[in-house]
Amino acid sequence: MYMSLLTVCISTAGSVHATSIAASRVEQALSEVASSLQSSAPKQGPLHPWMTLAQIWLHAAEVYIGMGKAAEATACTQEAANLFPMSHNVLFMKGQVAELRGNVDEAKRWYEEALSISPTHVKTMQRMGLILHQLQRYSLAEKFLRDAVQVNSTAHDVWNSLGEVLQAQGNDTAATECFLTALELEASCPILPFTIIPRTL
């Protein structure tokens, strides 16, 4: 059930109307999952259901961020934080919410905390690079993004971000190479991650 719900969230996030449907389905799913769990304390019982519940909250927050609804995204992120306050994914999402609210310094702090827990989390590394780009700290931004492509050389969005930073530094040749790499990788990037596509054998 959980996997199909996450698939619905991702596959229906293409428009405002579709995203609203995804948000309502996620909320319904959360209600069902919450009612199936007897206690609100994540340390009681098996850990897997609590991890799944936290993941659903984070996916809901991601949907609301896509809709530009900061209050709802904050509420969903806080629910996940109540379950796993030191999760790097939770801290990353807090950074995303802070960015949505326009709080660049706060977002940077959350990303720094997330990276202190998981130094190779590619999404956090990318957002950190883009934050530093906004702050015109181009050399440090380039370092974060180069480190990110070292961790995952097939992440087309990271290559694109690296190209933007290099372009801002006037390194047009290297930037063009990054943009071309991003285009090549994006062409072969699956719409949905293979890990969540149900097997039909």
Which stretches of the chain are DSSP H helices?
A: 2-11, 16-36, 48-67, 70-83, 88-100, 104-117, 122-134, 138-151, 156-168, 172-187
Retrieve residue 170's tokens. Answer: 């006037």
34-48 pLDDT tens trace: 544 444 445 555 667
The one-character DSSP state at 189 is -
Better pLDDT: 163 or 199: 163
pLDDT at 9: 44
Better pLDDT: 108 or 187: 108
Q: pTM of the predicted model, to two decimals?
A: 0.73
CA distances from 101 to 73, 84, 105, 114 (A): 11, 23, 11, 19
Query: How far apart are the C-alpha atoms of 155 and 56, rounded to whole Å?
Result: 23
Q: Is the pLDDT of residue 74 over 60?
A: yes
Domain 120-191, CATH among 1.25.40.10, 3.30.40.10, 1.10.10.10, 1.10.340.30: 1.25.40.10
pLDDT at 123: 95
Q: Is the pLDDT of residue 141 over 90?
A: yes
